[in-house]
Amino acid sequence: MLIISSKEFRDHQREYFDRVDNGEHIIVQRGKDKAYALTPISEDDIYFNAEMVKKLKQSLVEVQRGEVTRISTPKEISDLLGI
């Protein structure tokens, strides 16, 4: 893991992004008490992508039609989760 200052990051952003893309862990230190981890993300990492919005809309339609399963006991929760 590499820890760099925010100024160092600003001066050499491309280099550090390339290093993160190659699997290196980089922390950018900002002042004495703030730090940020550089992490690459993909379309799959974005929770509210088009596919997820479609699923949420479909779920709302199912709820409006009453197509729901009500769970109220710990056993029902365990059964649902398979534990």
Domain identity same for 10 and 32: yes
Q: How many CB atoms lie within 10 A of CB 82?
A: 5
Pairing mode, strands 2-5 and 26-30: parallel
Which band of pLDDT confidence, cut at 50, 70 and 90, is reported for residue 48? confident
Query: pLDDT at position 49, please?
Result: 80
Domain identity same for 49 and 32: no
Domain of residue 51 covers 43-81
Query: Using CB atoms within 10 A of its CB, is residue 52 exposed (0-12), middle (13-18) or buried (19+)?
Result: exposed
Domain identity same for 51 and 30: no
Domain identity same for 50 and 28: no
Domain count, the chain: 2
Query: pLDDT at position 52, please?
Result: 86
Which band of pLDDT confidence, cut at 50, 70 and 90, is reported for residue 28? very high
Domain identity same for 22 and 47: no
Domain identity same for 51 and 72: yes
Query: pLDDT at position 13, please?
Result: 97
Domain identity same for 77 and 50: yes
The Cα–Cα gap between 38 and 24 comes to 9
Q: 0.75 cut: is pTM over it?
A: no
